[in-house]
Amino acid sequence: MDRRRFLGGSLAAAGGAVLAGRGIGEAESLSRGQVPGAVAEAEIEGAKFPDGFLWGMATASYQVEGAWNEDGKGESIWDRYAHGVGHIKGGDTGDVACDHYHLYKQDIALMKRLNQKSYRFSISWARIQPDGTGAPNQKGLDHYKRVMDAVLEAGIRPFCTLYHWDLPQGLEDRGGWPNRDLAGYFADYAGILAKELGDRITVWAAFNMPWAFTYYGYGIGIHPPGRAKFGDFLKALHTVALAQGESFRAIKAASSKATVGSAYSMAPGYPKTGSEADRAATARYHAMNNTFFLNAALKGEYPNAFVGEPPYEQMGVRAGDGKLLRAELDWVGFHYYTRRIISDAGGARGGNQQHYGTEIESDAGDANGGRDPYTRFHAVMPTEGPLTHAGLEIWPRGIYDLVTQISHEYNRPIIEITECGCCYMDGPYEKEGGKIPDARRTAFFKGILAELARAIADGAKVRAFHAWSLMDNFEWTDGYSQRYGLTYVDFRDEKRTVKDSGLWYGRVAASNRLQN
């Protein structure tokens, strides 16, 4: 996610947001001084996770690996973008990042020390196929084989994301995700990975946050390749959904042990008012931002995210595509960071309305920033609860609502929480011997995990939780100016120091309890 969009300006509307039905009661019952949205201490103390629950940590190739041009790796769109002027805060790049490419052994040992059972990482497509098609690069494959061996030896389950945003530049040169051919190229890549690494990896997710990278990259151009055309976004959506289905089949064909799921970004939406229009807008938001790809896979059709006729023609949908979209995912993965308040954006297209301080999912219809005529909702992040350093509202209850909703809508699937975390800038504190007392991060996880435990107790089949992130890393257009790690990284010498939150999380993993 691009956090900058949350920092811009006032969120006046959100301050007094009405959480139709749900939030209101909570807000009213707050005693003085209590933090809005905070979970009671007793709930945190009582929270328990089932035996065998998979505690894990997550990273992504471009954010941690570095070694951007080593061992035959091709250029990715993030390499190209970060090397361009004026794209990344501070002129930062992922050229070196955490140097995880070379330091993976110590990072895996660190996870083992913290009792981790699952490592969610991503593979850099351009290491495997330097320009995105054709014969694999043996050195790239060998690298990931070595990493997987170390992960398995540490008793950790490898969870592989095939695509965490670093498209080979060669494929962008062929039109990028709006080009339908990429579905086939992606399936080829998936097949290579499953064939070469399927003996070591059994848990595969095709895409990280497919809505986000298509929208940011092609709809509004704030991520590479930096295009801002709503029509390209619509086409990219369909190619990626096809790629999800095609890669599912390619992986299953190449590896009999494979289980395949996804890593969607989801944020529960709450209608701003109880009006029919806001409720309908919230349903469209949920369909577009949360379940668009999930529904395509499990039901072979897109959920109704649109007002009126769905723009299937603009998306490039062809007769018979439903079959290609369909994939019986073995489990459902999604991230939880924050929530949204949704209202109807009204009928008219265009206008000069500015929406600062939030992510406006339907607000970039054309170069002039007009509203798109299809989804017509307005999504804002409220500021009722406290904000992290990145400006995201902390709302523990959101994970309960989201998990419960998905569980209900998709017939109690197995769920993996693929990411959850917060940005705070705490660093080594000399007076405490250089340790990192990041109490706010621990508090963040306590509240959210207590709510997750409650969702599990109420019947949701959640089997894993991955904290974002194993360590501080390259936070996209924010460069190194945001720290999400449970481990502190000094980017001058790559020294890792586990933060207090990381030590706490290690004890949670050992005890399945939050109070330790």
Binding site for ligand FCB (CB under 6 A): 1, 60, 63, 208-209, 265, 419, 468, 475-476, 484
| Local structure of residue 141 (DSSP, 8 states) | H
Q: Measured between alpha carbons, how far is 41 from 443 in angstroms, rounded to an integer?
A: 10
**Partners of residue 259 on adjacent β-strands:** 203
Least distance (Å) between residue 202 CB and ligand FCB:
22
Closest residue (Cβ) to ligand FCB?
Answer: 1
Phi, psi of 221, rounded to the nearest 5 degrees: 70, 30
3-class DSSP state of 180: coil
Least distance (Å) between residue 515 CB and ligand FCB:
26
Residue 470: burial class (beta carbons within 10 Å; 0-12, 13-18, 19+): buried
Q: Which is nearer to ligand FCB, 177 or 484 (CB)?
A: 484
Least distance (Å) between residue 333 CB and ligand FCB:
11
Q: Which is nearer to ligand FCB, 401 or 419 (CB)?
A: 419
Q: Which is nearer to ligand FCB, 79 or 475 (CB)?
A: 475
Q: Which is nearer to ligand FCB, 125 or 374 (CB)?
A: 125
Least distance (Å) between residue 493 CB and ligand FCB:
23
Least distance (Å) between residue 256 CB and ligand FCB:
29
Tokens 């095609």 appear where? 246
Least distance (Å) between residue 405 CB and ligand FCB:
20
Q: Which is nearer to ligand FCB, 292 or 476 (CB)?
A: 476
CA distance from start to end of the chain:
32
Q: Which is nearer to ligand FCB, 454 or 499 (CB)?
A: 499
Q: Which is nearer to ligand FCB, 77 or 250 (CB)?
A: 77
Number of Cβ within 10 Å of residue 301's Cβ equals 13
Q: Measured between alpha carbons, how far is 206 from 187 in angstroms, rounded to an integer?
A: 10
Least distance (Å) between residue 74 CB and ligand FCB:
21
Least distance (Å) between residue 266 CB and ligand FCB:
11
Q: Measured between alpha carbons, how far is 98 from 66 in angstroms, rounded to an integer?
A: 6
DSSP assignment string, 375-442: T-EEEE---SS-B-TTSPBP-THHHHHHHHHHHHHTTS-EEEEEE---------BGGGTTB---HHHH
State the DSSP H helix or E strand holding residue 200, giving kind and residue range, or none if neither. Answer: none
Distances (CA, A) of 202 to 55, 152, 254, 285: 17, 11, 11, 32
Q: Which is nearer to ligand FCB, 343 or 487 (CB)?
A: 487
Contact 275, 18 (CB under 8 A): no
Least distance (Å) between residue 359 CB and ligand FCB:
11
Assign 3-state DSSP to the chain and report helix, strand, coil percentages, each to 5: 40, 15, 45
Contact 18, 81 (CB under 8 A): no
* Amino acid letter, residue 111: M
Residue 414: burial class (beta carbons within 10 Å; 0-12, 13-18, 19+): middle
Phi, psi of 342, rounded to the nearest 5 degrees: -120, 140
Q: Measured between alpha carbons, how far is 488 from 435 in angstroms, rounded to an integer?
A: 10
Phi, psi of 331, rounded to the nearest 5 degrees: -160, 165
Least distance (Å) between residue 265 CB and ligand FCB:
6
Q: Which is nearer to ligand FCB, 185 or 337 (CB)?
A: 337
Radius of gyration of the chain measured on its C-alpha atoms:
22
Structure tokens of 489? Answer: 């990284």
Q: Which is nearer to ligand FCB, 38 or 60 (CB)?
A: 60
Q: Which is nearer to ligand FCB, 278 or 475 (CB)?
A: 475
Least distance (Å) between residue 132 CB and ligand FCB:
21
